[in-house]
Amino acid sequence: MADGTVRLDGNCLAGPLSEILAVEPTTAWWRCPECTRSGPLAGLHVYGPEPGLTVRCPGCSYIALRLVREGEHIWLTVGGGSGAFRFSTA
Amino acid sequence: MPWRRVRLVERRSQTPSARSLVFAAPGWPGHLPGQHVDVRLTADDGYRAVRSYSLAAPADGESIELGVQTVPGGEVSPYLADDLPLGADVEVRGPLGNWFVWRTEQPAPVLLVAGGSGVVPLAAMIRAHHRTQSRSTFQLLYSVRTPDDVWYRDHLADGDPRHDVRILYTRQGPPAGTRAPGRVGRSDLDGPASRLQPASPVYVCGPTGFVEAVGDLLTDMGRDPATIRTERFG
Amino acid sequence: MNSLSPGFRGRRRSLAERLPPGQYPTESFPVLSAGPTPRVSTEDWTFTVTTERGDTRTWTWEQMTALPQQGIVQDIHCVTRWSKFDTRWRGVPLDAFLEDVATEAGFAVVSSYGGYTSNMPLEDLLDGRAWIVHTYEGYPLSPEHGGPARLLVPHLYLWKSAKWVRGLRLVIEDEPGFWESIGYHDYGDPWREQRTWGD
């Protein structure tokens, strides 16, 4: 984006995740397996939006999830590893 | 959450670089104060850009109001602020987000802390509260650079005895101001925090650095981090 | 390695000819990141090549800067559709790090401080087509753009040019990196518009 990289928080994931989740996700509770900090998805740090959204623990930057929109697909990893799920949204 | 077409029906200037945009949104299901929408713009060649904007007013039938701050050189905000013609459509999806919301049944006194255009979702909360019979009180600390940067003057001066609005200037205050211009500090938060209950929610919205600084101050003052809800941008 | 008349381009091709499909030219240098910017001092920086057998060779900052340096002028292309012409860098071609390494590997996984990775065929890093760069437009590379040192593989989309580079792992079988594992193209040739998995 022309504004450069913007770091937001998990509140902004409500729209993108609504395409693949049936339940509103920003109140979901998450505990970091690395530093044990816990809290709602809304409080996580989000980097992006391009090339994709990377969602990290505010305490230690551990990756909670990653999300990429590609055409009519949404790619999602839970955690920072590979093995993404590819959802069709069309 | 599907995309729906909405039509721009009104544009008001809040500051030289900030606009209130009112859209007609047929079939709008209503929303909670604090929620946002995603706005999608589509270029002639199919290129699309999506950005999130907070809803600035409580639910009002099939009408929704957004607050847009122009980011110089930005791809979306200058277009929405000044170029999108009245009567033209954009796509939105929403309402979105159940975390950064105030629910009218919440009984405890509330503290709102806004930095710049972070006032938008907090204005929706204070306007929603104004309509209720709730006995809870609302305090708003609103940090802006100068008196020219204040949004929603009419709504913030609503005369509601349950509301206490304090505007804090970071660069330059009004001639009669008693507080020296500067960032929100412990001394600005002590008084408002003392009027809260332990379970009172605090809503903080603004640029990332602002939200983190205020959040740190509040937790240093002993407020339970679980009572602090934040929304950050930029 | 040819250092004769570096940066010479002959008669200027038109800008349109230098713009891969779907790209627009920009004068600015947007910063995209997937996490907090690592702050790595040159005293702490090292670059390690690891072969498929687990053999390693490591260079310190001092050792890296003692290798023969090249000036580089290249167009760069980001998958988010901006291209930037004639960017000027200084650094060391990857050939210098790989010339004494015995390997059967066909692929490389580059890794960064901060955890980022990207994959590419090993041959794309050889023959003067890729560099470890530490200087941009005459100044030390800033942390936002990958300083103290980043990979530069300008013939592939820029996500392959890993910022904050710390190592290269040579592997027999291709392994998708950070973006390649979540929908982006394994190879990423801007001229064939290989942006995503399906392209």
Report the Cα C174 to chain-centroid distance in Å.
Answer: 17
- Whether B216 and chain A come into contact, CB under 8 Å, resolves to no
Q: Do B219 and B168 sit in the same domain of this protein?
A: yes
User: Which residues from B are below 8 Å from A15, CB to CB?
Assistant: 1, 37-38, 50, 52, 93-94, 96
* Cβ within 8 Å, pair C184-A50: no
Angle (CA) B207 B208 B211, round 5°: 85
Q: How far is A20 from chain B, CA to nearest CA, in Å?
A: 9
Q: How far is C104 from chain A, CA to nearest CA, in Å?
A: 25
Residues β-bridged to residue C24: C82
Q: Which residues contact C83 (CB under 8 A, 6 or more apart)?
A: C18, C19, C20, C23, C24, C25, C26, C75, C76, C77, C190
Q: What is the largest CA-CA distance in chain C?
A: 47
The CATH number assigned to the domain holding B196 equals: 3.40.50.80
Find the DSSP H helices in chain C. 61-66, 95-98
Please name the member of C33, C159, C181 whose beta carbon is closest to the beta carbon of A5: C33
* Cβ within 8 Å, pair A82-C184: no
User: Which residues from C are below 8 Å from A48, CB to CB?
Assistant: 34
- What average pLDDT score do residues C135-149 get? 97
Structural domain includes residue A31:
yes
Q: Which residues of A9-44 are buried (b: 16+ CB within 10 A; e: fewer)?
A: bbbbbbbbbbeeeeebbbbbebebeeeeeebbbbbb
* Residue in A with minimal Cα distance to C178: A82
- Residue B69 binned pLDDT confidence (cut-offs 50, 70, 90): very high
Please name the member of C35, C182, C196 whose beta carbon is closest to the beta carbon of A47: C35
Structural domain includes residue A16:
yes
Find the DSSP H helices in B62-201. 77-78, 119-131, 153-156, 186-194
- Residue A1 binned pLDDT confidence (cut-offs 50, 70, 90): very low
Across chain C, mean pLDDT equals 93
- Whether B103 and chain A come into contact, CB under 8 Å, resolves to no
Query: How many CB atoms sit inside 10 A of residue C1's CB?
Result: 11
Q: Are the C-beta atoms of C65 and C17 separated by less than 8 Å?
A: no
Whether residue A70 is predicted with pLDDT greater than 70 in this model: the reply is: yes
- What average pLDDT score do residues C135-144 get? 97
- Residue C5 binned pLDDT confidence (cut-offs 50, 70, 90): low
Q: Do B92 and B117 sit in the same domain of this protein?
A: no
Q: Do B119 and B78 sit in the same domain of this protein?
A: no
Structural domain includes residue B150:
yes
Please name the amino acid found at residue A88: S
Domain count, chain B: 2
Q: How far is B28 from chain A, CA to nearest CA, in Å?
A: 16
User: What is the Cα–Cα distance from C135 to C132, expressed in whole angstroms?
Assistant: 10
Give the pLDDT confidence score for residue A2 in this predicted structure.
Answer: 30
Give the pLDDT confidence score for residue A71 in this predicted structure.
Answer: 86
Domain count, chain A: 1
Q: Do B146 and B200 sit in the same domain of this protein?
A: yes
* Residue in B with minimal Cα distance to A42: B99
Please name the member of A14, A27, A40 whose beta carbon is closest to the beta carbon of B96: A14
- Residue B4 binned pLDDT confidence (cut-offs 50, 70, 90): very high
Over residues B153-199, the pLDDT tens digits come to 988 988 999 999 999 999 999 988 889 999 999 999 999 999 999 99
Whether residue C11 is predicted with pLDDT greater than 70 in this model: the reply is: no
Structural domain includes residue A82:
yes
Give the pLDDT confidence score for residue B223 in this predicted structure.
Answer: 95
Q: Do B118 and B204 sit in the same domain of this protein?
A: yes
Structural domain includes residue B162:
yes
- What average pLDDT score do residues B56-63 get? 96
Lowest mean pLDDT among A2-16, B45-59, B154-168: A2-16
Among residues A52, A87, A81, the alpha carbon closest in space to that of A64 is found at: A81
Chain C interface disruption, residue of A1, A5, A67, A89, most C CBs within 10 A: A5
The CATH number assigned to the domain holding B49 equals: 2.40.30.10
Q: Do B86 and B142 sit in the same domain of this protein?
A: no
- What average pLDDT score do residues C161-190 get? 97
- Residue B217: its H or E element: helix B208-220
User: What is the Cα–Cα distance from A10 to A26, expressed in whole angstroms?
Assistant: 6
- How much of chain A is helix, strand and coil, in % rounded to 5? 15, 40, 45
Which residue range is the domain that position B56 belongs to? 4-96
Give the pLDDT confidence score for residue B22 in this predicted structure.
Answer: 98
User: What is the Cα–Cα distance from B54 to B18, expressed in whole angstroms?
Assistant: 13
Helices and strands (H, E) in chain A, number of each type:
1, 8
Q: Are the C-beta atoms of A76 and A62 separated by less than 8 Å?
A: no
Whether residue A6 is predicted with pLDDT greater than 60 in this model: the reply is: no
Q: How far is C191 from chain A, CA to nearest CA, in Å?
A: 19
Please, how many CA atoms are within 13 Å of residue B153, restricted to the half-sphere of its CB? 9
Give the pLDDT confidence score for residue A80 in this predicted structure.
Answer: 87
Structural domain includes residue A26:
yes
Q: Do B142 and B224 sit in the same domain of this protein?
A: yes
Give the pLDDT confidence score for residue A78 in this predicted structure.
Answer: 94
Whether residue C7 is predicted with pLDDT greater than 70 in this model: the reply is: no
User: What is the Cα–Cα distance from C163 to C147, expressed in whole angstroms?
Assistant: 7
Q: Do B158 and B74 sit in the same domain of this protein?
A: no
Domains and CATH numbers, chain C: 41-192 (3.90.420.10)
C72 phi/psi in degrees, rounded to 5: -130, 130
Structural domain includes residue A1:
no
Helix axes B208-220, B186-194, angle to 10 degrees: 60
Q: Do B114 and B173 sit in the same domain of this protein?
A: yes
Lowest mean pLDDT among B176-180, C61-65, C189-193: B176-180
Over residues B76-123, the pLDDT tens digits come to 999 999 999 999 999 999 999 999 999 988 889 999 999 999 999 999
* Cβ within 8 Å, pair A15-B93: yes
Structural domain includes residue B104:
no
C window 147-186, beta carbon within 8 A of A: 159, 176, 179, 181-184
Q: Do B87 and B160 sit in the same domain of this protein?
A: no
Among residues B165, B146, B149, B145, the alpha carbon closest in space to that of B157 is found at: B165
Give the pLDDT confidence score for residue C64 in this predicted structure.
Answer: 98
Which residue range is the domain that position A64 belongs to? 6-88
Structural domain includes residue B143:
yes
Q: How far is A7 from chain C, CA to nearest CA, in Å?
A: 9
Please name the amino acid found at residue B20: S
Structural domain includes residue B227:
yes
User: What is the Cα–Cα distance from C76 to C73, expressed in whole angstroms?
Assistant: 10
- Residue A4 binned pLDDT confidence (cut-offs 50, 70, 90): very low
